[in-house]
Amino acid sequence: MTQHFIVIGNPIAHSKSPEIHAQFAAQTGIDISYQRQYCPDDAASFTALLEAFFHGGGVGANVTVPFKQVAYACCAARGGLSEHAKVAGAVNTLWLNTALLKNGASISEAIYGDNTDGQGLVNHILSLGWPLAGARVALIGAGGAARGVILPLIQAGIGDLSIANRTVSKAEDLACELSAASDVIDAHAISTCATSELTGAFDIIINATSIGLSGETLPLADMLTAHYAYDMMYGRTLPFLQHFAARGAQTSDGYGMLIGQAALSFERWTTQKVDVAIATAALHDKALHDK
């Protein structure tokens, strides 16, 4: 029987999730339908759409911009949140909490949320062979994407963390809020500064800003170095990666993170493991073929 999934966003036409999940379905032999779902940008429309989807027999949903925080609030008031979703304050993956359904909860009351973005990043970094255990990590950005990756990075055993942001107060607030939300995050062990003041030798530097969309470049200090540089953006030439590649660093864009977070969603929904490397190669070949 076909299992139904959607990705909800606004805009949504650009989403690569249907192609990625079709690849996972082909790999695992599971019969799925995975559709893009546009939603008006308001919480009431989002909640109504989600409830209608699950009442109609939907198995799982992904959520993208601008609904990740709305999805968080929706699940917090219904079927619950994973630890990663709680700490991130955002949800990208939803399904029905079967334990609650068994205890008599209605479908609407059982909608449960997880956040796989951060673990998707960690899994991708590890698959590249970049060592995280004990690593000195610099994270640039203090928005939703940065918030979502901090707990998974700390759980992966990084040594210390610096958060730099254009607006320093947002980096400071982020460190304090996450430390209050999780026992494993200690705000005192996280240093914060303005992006232009970030200096020193790091093992890994991660760009979690949306600057690549604007055509501007980050004000990076000359004394800032890293062995590995990761940009969460993908699909274009990224000045951040060019900057560090020119200084000898290994680099990666965020395409593997995108596939990694999708793989974790698929695994949560279907309990089937997927091979991310096979999916990445197949999707790369398909993209070249479609050009």
d(CA 240, CA 253): 10
- Which residues, other chains included, contact 28 with Cβ-Cβ below 8 Å and sequence gap of 6+? 270, 272, 274
d(CA 105, CA 99): 9
Binders in 9-68 for ligand NDP, by CB under 6 A: none
CB of 233 to ligand NDP, least distance (A): 4
- 3-class SS of residue 19: helix
Is 17 marked as binding a ligand? yes
Is 169 marked as binding a ligand? yes
Binding mask 108-127 for ligand NDP (x = CB under 6 A): ---------x----------
| Exposure class string for 216-237: b at 16+ Cβ within 10 A, else e | eebebeeebbbbbbbbbbbeee
* Side-chain-side CA neighbours of residue 166 (13 Å): 10
Is 261 marked as binding a ligand? yes
- Specify whether 291 is catalytic: no
List the one residue from 16, 166, 227, 268 that touches ligand NDP (CB under 6 A).
Answer: 166
Residues 34, 59: contact at Cβ < 8 Å? no
CB-nearer residue toward ligand NDP: 79 or 212: 212
CB-nearer residue toward ligand NDP: 114 or 117: 117
Is 108 marked as binding a ligand? no
The runs of H, that is alpha helices, within 30-97 are 43-55, 68-76, 83-88
68, 86, 286, 291: the catalytic one is 68
- Which residues, other chains included, contact 86 with Cβ-Cβ below 8 Å and sequence gap of 6+? 181
Binders in 258-277 for ligand NDP, by CB under 6 A: 258, 261
d(CA 36, CA 16): 9
Q: Tell me, by CB under 6 A, how many residues bind ligand NDP.
A: 26
- 3-class SS of residue 176: helix
Reference 200, options 223, 172, 220, 216; nearest CA is: 223
| Using rule CB under 6 A, residue 145 touches ligand NDP | yes
Binders in 203-242 for ligand NDP, by CB under 6 A: 208-212, 214, 216, 218, 232-234
CB-nearer residue toward ligand NDP: 98 or 196: 196
Q: Which residues are catalytic?
A: 68
Binding residues: 15-17, 64, 83, 92, 117, 141-145, 165-170, 232, 234, 254, 261
Where do contacts with ligand NDP occur on this chain (CB under 6 A)? Answer: 117, 141-146, 165-167, 170, 208-212, 214, 216, 218, 232-234, 254, 257-258, 261
Binding residues for shikimate: 15-17, 64, 92, 117, 234, 261
